[in-house]
Chain A
Amino acid sequence: MELSFTQGRWNYESWGGFDPISSSNAKPPGVELWAVFDVPQHHIDASWKNLTHTLSGLFCASINFLESTATYSTPEWSFPPASGNVRYGTLPCEAVCTENLTPWLKLLPCRDKAGIALLLDRPSLYRGFYHSQRGRCVLAKSSSVYLLLDRGLVAELKFPNKENGKSAANGLTSENFWSNPSFELSVNPDRIFLEESSSHSKSLSILYMFQVEKYSESEPFDIGLMWKVPVAWLCQQTPLHASRFLMGSGNERGAIAISLKSTQFTEGFMSANSKDGSCELRVDVFQVVPWYVKVYFHSLRVFVDQQPRAVSDFIEKIHVSPSKDKMSPGVMEVVLKLPCRVNTAALTIEFDKGFLRIDEYPPDANQGFDIPSAIISFPNFHASMVFLEDDSLNRSPLLSKFQEKCPVMSYTEVLLVPLTTPDFSMPYNVITIKCTVFALYFGSLLNVLQRRVAEEERFLKAKAAKKTGRLPLLLSKLSAKLRGRRREPLHSPPSSSSFINSKLVLKVILVAGLAVGWQYFFS
């Protein structure tokens, strides 16, 4: 299981993407959670729900939003172990603040009163461009501070006796490696680790270790690095620089494009490696898209070196799990095989924007909705640094972590998709107007269907008038009324007026009698 809280975006162009720190530790903005479950398949979703709720309570974050099936997905290949037991969920717009840091620190034995955590000064931490917390706690026996000199930096700095250092790669302190004309360290490192030869670059990283327990209140640990000469260096970058953006305008449809551009690393490395000309760079793309961004998978197109190419030429395998409305997001996993000398490559896919009900919009509906970061990984390359240690019993967990062979990964940007909103102030108006229109239809159609013509009634009246006597007249009128025929005024007005009067009196007497009886019955 891995949980991370990140604010800011890792700048792959300046800060590199090939070393373990940027490959395994740089995380997408917001909250990311993935977990592998060991329970039977039908229990996994319930376990995931429990997990999200527990973590939400522990870390004071709204991780419980990940519990609904519309927010998490089941990747097939992207996360080792490749099985159906992995669940992956991310909240891209979750803001990270000190309330999230405090529960993390509570997990440490001395919290932030002593130890490493003393260094975590809130204002300076949150003022930075990028900060990330990740949960992968391995307890170390002793606390140390490490200073890593990147391969690119080491290539820039000119260490004396570099050739000697390569042969004596057993991590002993060597005077040659921490004194340098370009910089000066205020404290001498306790140990220096050299990286074992890396296949991907000529220079090797250097790791300085400072043990904190040697210092105390009287002799505080104050490490500083002073540059004597301005040094600029390029961190080693991922084979292809990945970025993602939206295309199209308007609130009806659009397209997502993932573009891969070659970096200096690619140019330098690939030309050295492509002996027979048939080397291929394998790129894995994993993308989760929420259900209201309805992706048309058949519109997936591949552009290599800015030329549209047939999809089957470059896509080795593709696994697609289409989104179900309100139920699950759309997952796309693509394995691309690009030629090593590729300059640029792009994947585009079109989508339609969905329409939600008014209760499905977040409070700020016009801001838009987030599409989480896509994960681009390069399985051909492993971002790991192997530092030889002589003391295998006392293995530092950080060095063990550096030695893990995990593929080089980079995260793309989070995309913000504006969706059209209905008018939120209108539910009652819409319902009443709609129902009025329906009543209009219903009433007028029934009226037209059952309407009887005037002549028919006049005919019936004429027939009735032939009969003598008031009682048959009364009865015929009553029957006409029951059958819903319109009452026509009679041809003899005087009799009608007295007739109406007597009828009125009869009605009044009837109603009065009913009222008296009711009162009597219920009093």
Chain B
Amino acid sequence: MEKVKKKIGSFSFWNWVTASIIFRLILIYFPKNLNLSSRPEVSTPLTSFRRLAEGYWLKQSFMSPYAGSMYHGSPLLLSLLGPLTINSLVSVIADVVSAMLIRATGQNLRLAYLRSLESLDLVKQIEVSEFLFSGDIAALIYLCNPFTIVACVGLSTSPIENMAVILCLYGACSRLIPLAAFGWVIATHLSLYPAILIIPVIFLLGCGPDSPPRKLFLQRHQQKEVLNQSKLPPRFSWGPVIHFAFWAFLWSVYVLVLCGISLKQFGGLWEMFKSTYGFILTVEDLSPNIGVLWYFFAEVFEFFRNFFLIVFHVNILFMILPLAIRLRHRPCYLAFVYVAICSMLKSYPSVGDSALYLGLLGWFVNELADMQFSLFLFCGYVGVSLLSPVMHNLWIWRGTGNANFYFATAMVYACLQIVLVVEGVSAMLNHDRKLRNLITGKPQDAKS
């Protein structure tokens, strides 16, 4: 019965995958111009394909691609995507590859979870048969998410950035260290923020995929008075981490050398860093997007600009340490929280970034089953994605609205993401507490 269920489940998975690919192709080759690429929610100054085309044209005319404050991406992307005319197919391929990698990592995580439950002897107490196939669900969420589809069809480079991040996590989960290093280096090179994923990657390589806290295992074995070392999760091992550092160093040197060669006569690497990382950190472009930083830096006084820049970027950095301390036994979940915080607080967010963390959320459907406010969040996301284009139209095209209308929807979106992150972390910690209660035999509290 279980086998049949599994077979049916996997059959409909491939159905869904093909359906989403066909849907994307239909949208790409739709005869009428959908104008998705000009939506500010989809294409930001960092991810816009039009700007990439402009950078490519400048490069072909023997000028630096960074000459005119138009292009702020990587020179490698220029060489790869510039000559291609069918740019949308690249995004479709990137999406499919990301979905497959998400599925593989999800299966990995699920197996690790089942194994840890077995070693904790909790298999009977938690209904394992009701466990959903988190890998399949996560991949389907990623593929069929309207945000992902819009980012793919709308000529943005975020599917490629997402693919790099997922590649890094997949490599770290499956112990393919060169692949993980490659993914991490490329993700950091394309957009600065995935650099903080080094911490979950280190935990993944050192300890292994997500598992309940180590002291639970110790408690269980104290109870059973059987110290079977083989059932305990391994201690933190530095070997893979050093291996990873070596490969990361190698790949980053390679990438920097390639960039240096392509920009040799245009100012070299310093120009590239100033135009890409400098642009991200100083928030020079104030075009509206789904984030909240653009209006803030349009309205703030010149005197306080640097102060607030530092505050907003430190906000991301500050949360790294507390989260790492509290969630070190669950590195994939830590990666999810980092990605969510980055896509909320980054300088130029777009729906492609949200697509990434919503996809990664699918890995944890079993652990986060008791998350509060899930319906509220779902309705909120739907509401914001419908209202935001309306407010944008009112402001820019009709002139009957104000910048405040659009900014209000951006604020609501930021609040929704905050609620998602906070409730997600809370639900995961509650799950760990539940496991601990099951082990220590304490009566379950309604509000723990």
Question: Which A positions have Cβ atoms within 8 angstroms of B?
Answer: 249-253, 291, 294, 296-298, 318, 320-326, 330, 352, 354-359, 420-423, 426-427, 430-431, 433-434, 437-438, 440-442, 444-446, 448-450, 453-455
A355 / chain B contacts, CB cutoff of 8 Å: 285-288, 294, 298
Complex Cα gap A280–B323 (Å)? 71
Contact B422 A445 (CB under 8 A): yes
B403 / chain A contacts, CB cutoff of 8 Å: 420-423
Central interface residue in A355, A434, A455, by most chain B CB within 10 Å: A434
CB-contacts of B251-309 with A (<8 A): 284-288, 292, 294-302
Knowing A431-B296, A433-B411, the reply to whether A444 touches B418 (Cβ < 8 A) is: yes
Contact A449 B285 (CB under 8 A): no
Contact A445 B319 (CB under 8 A): yes
Closest A residue to B50 by beta carbon equals: A296
A445 / chain B contacts, CB cutoff of 8 Å: 319, 322-323, 418, 421-422, 425
Some 8 contacts from A to B, beta carbons below 8 A apart, are A250-B396, A296-B54, A322-B58, A330-B68, A354-B285, A355-B287, A434-B411, A440-B415
A298 / chain B contacts, CB cutoff of 8 Å: 53-54, 56-57
The minimal Cβ–Cβ distance linking A440 to chain B, given in whole angstroms, is 6
Closest A residue to B322 by beta carbon equals: A449
Closest B residue to A418 by beta carbon equals: B399
Contact B397 A252 (CB under 8 A): yes
Contact A252 B396 (CB under 8 A): yes
Contact A440 B295 (CB under 8 A): no
CB-contacts of B223-265 with A (<8 A): none
A427 / chain B contacts, CB cutoff of 8 Å: 299-301
10 more contacts with CB within 8 A, not counting A437-B414, A445-B418, are A322-B58, A322-B63, A324-B67, A357-B298, A421-B403, A430-B299, A437-B411, A441-B344, A442-B318, A450-B322
Name the 8 nearest CB pairs between A and B, nearest first. A322-B68, A298-B57, A355-B286, A427-B299, A250-B397, A325-B69, A441-B418, A430-B299
Central interface residue in B300, B344, B425, by most chain A CB within 10 Å: B300
Closest A residue to B312 by beta carbon equals: A438
Complex Cα gap A431–B303 (Å)? 14
Contact B302 A423 (CB under 8 A): no
Complex Cα gap A81–B295 (Å)? 45
Complex Cα gap A486–B287 (Å)? 47
Contact A448 B426 (CB under 8 A): yes
B10 / chain A contacts, CB cutoff of 8 Å: none
* B448 located at the interface, meaning its Cβ lies under 8 Å from any Cβ of chain A in the complex: yes
B38 / chain A contacts, CB cutoff of 8 Å: 252-253
Complex Cα gap A230–B265 (Å)? 67
Contact A449 B326 (CB under 8 A): yes
Question: Which B positions have Cβ atoms within 8 angstroms of A?
Answer: 38, 50, 53-54, 56-58, 61, 63, 67-70, 284-288, 292, 294-302, 312, 315, 318-319, 322-323, 326, 344, 395-397, 399, 402-404, 407, 411, 414-415, 418, 421-422, 425-426, 429, 433, 437, 442, 445, 447-448
Knowing A357-B286, A357-B297, A445-B422, the reply to whether A454 touches B448 (Cβ < 8 A) is: yes
B296 / chain A contacts, CB cutoff of 8 Å: 430-431, 434
Contact A356 B298 (CB under 8 A): yes
Contact B68 A323 (CB under 8 A): yes
Contact A358 B414 (CB under 8 A): no
B322 / chain A contacts, CB cutoff of 8 Å: 445-446, 449-450
A453 / chain B contacts, CB cutoff of 8 Å: 433, 445, 448
B297 / chain A contacts, CB cutoff of 8 Å: 357
Contact B445 A440 (CB under 8 A): no
The minimal Cβ–Cβ distance linking B338 to chain A, given in whole angstroms, is 12
Contact A431 B299 (CB under 8 A): yes
B447 / chain A contacts, CB cutoff of 8 Å: 454
Knowing A355-B286, A355-B287, the reply to whether A322 touches B67 (Cβ < 8 A) is: yes
Knowing A252-B38, A325-B285, A356-B298, the reply to whether A437 touches B415 (Cβ < 8 A) is: yes
B318 / chain A contacts, CB cutoff of 8 Å: 442
Indicate which residue in A324, A326, A356, A431 contacts B300 across the interface (CB closer than 8 Å): A431
Complex Cα gap A251–B399 (Å)? 8
The minimal Cβ–Cβ distance linking B55 to chain A, given in whole angstroms, is 9
Closest B residue to A318 by beta carbon equals: B61
A420 / chain B contacts, CB cutoff of 8 Å: 395-396, 403
Contact B69 A324 (CB under 8 A): yes
Complex Cα gap A324–B274 (Å)? 13
The minimal Cβ–Cβ distance linking A251 to chain B, given in whole angstroms, is 5
The minimal Cβ–Cβ distance linking B290 to chain A, given in whole angstroms, is 14
The minimal Cβ–Cβ distance linking A334 to chain B, given in whole angstroms, is 13
Complex Cα gap A352–B61 (Å)? 21
Contact B298 A422 (CB under 8 A): yes
The minimal Cβ–Cβ distance linking A161 to chain B, given in whole angstroms, is 60
A426 / chain B contacts, CB cutoff of 8 Å: 299, 404
Contact A437 B298 (CB under 8 A): no
Contact B448 A322 (CB under 8 A): no
Contact B63 A320 (CB under 8 A): yes
Complex Cα gap A444–B442 (Å)? 28
Contact A358 B63 (CB under 8 A): no
Indicate which residue in A252, A325, A356, A455 contacts B448 across the interface (CB closer than 8 Å): A455
A318 / chain B contacts, CB cutoff of 8 Å: 61
Complex Cα gap A326–B38 (Å)? 23
A437 / chain B contacts, CB cutoff of 8 Å: 292, 411, 414-415, 418
A430 / chain B contacts, CB cutoff of 8 Å: 295-296, 299-300, 407
B399 / chain A contacts, CB cutoff of 8 Å: 251
Complex Cα gap A253–B415 (Å)? 30
Complex Cα gap A322–B433 (Å)? 59
B63 / chain A contacts, CB cutoff of 8 Å: 320, 322
Complex Cα gap A297–B40 (Å)? 21
Complex Cα gap A314–B58 (Å)? 19
A250 / chain B contacts, CB cutoff of 8 Å: 396-397
The minimal Cβ–Cβ distance linking B176 to chain A, given in whole angstroms, is 31
B294 / chain A contacts, CB cutoff of 8 Å: 355
Closest A residue to B71 by beta carbon equals: A322
The minimal Cβ–Cβ distance linking B264 to chain A, given in whole angstroms, is 20
Contact A444 B422 (CB under 8 A): yes
Complex Cα gap A206–B226 (Å)? 119
Central interface residue in A325, A422, A426, A442, by most chain B CB within 10 Å: A422
A444 / chain B contacts, CB cutoff of 8 Å: 418, 422
B407 / chain A contacts, CB cutoff of 8 Å: 430
A448 / chain B contacts, CB cutoff of 8 Å: 422, 425-426, 429
Complex Cα gap A352–B38 (Å)? 10
The minimal Cβ–Cβ distance linking B227 to chain A, given in whole angstroms, is 25
Contact A449 B323 (CB under 8 A): yes
A294 / chain B contacts, CB cutoff of 8 Å: 69-70
A449 / chain B contacts, CB cutoff of 8 Å: 322-323, 326, 425, 429
Contact A438 B315 (CB under 8 A): yes
Closest A residue to B414 by beta carbon equals: A437
Complex Cα gap A252–B403 (Å)? 13
B422 / chain A contacts, CB cutoff of 8 Å: 441, 444-445, 448
The minimal Cβ–Cβ distance linking A493 to chain B, given in whole angstroms, is 23
The minimal Cβ–Cβ distance linking B167 to chain A, given in whole angstroms, is 28
A320 / chain B contacts, CB cutoff of 8 Å: 58, 61, 63
Closest B residue to A357 by beta carbon equals: B298
The minimal Cβ–Cβ distance linking B84 to chain A, given in whole angstroms, is 15
Closest A residue to B305 by beta carbon equals: A357
The minimal Cβ–Cβ distance linking A263 to chain B, given in whole angstroms, is 33
Closest B residue to A459 by beta carbon equals: B442
The minimal Cβ–Cβ distance linking A157 to chain B, given in whole angstroms, is 53
Knowing A322-B67, A325-B284, the reply to whether A359 touches B292 (Cβ < 8 A) is: no
The minimal Cβ–Cβ distance linking A15 to chain B, given in whole angstroms, is 37
Central interface residue in B323, B422, B433, by most chain A CB within 10 Å: B422
The minimal Cβ–Cβ distance linking A460 to chain B, given in whole angstroms, is 14
Complex Cα gap A437–B69 (Å)? 31
Complex Cα gap A136–B322 (Å)? 71
B288 / chain A contacts, CB cutoff of 8 Å: 355
Indicate which residue in A252, A324, A423, A442 contacts B68 across the interface (CB closer than 8 Å): A324
Closest B residue to A437 by beta carbon equals: B414
Complex Cα gap A354–B56 (Å)? 21
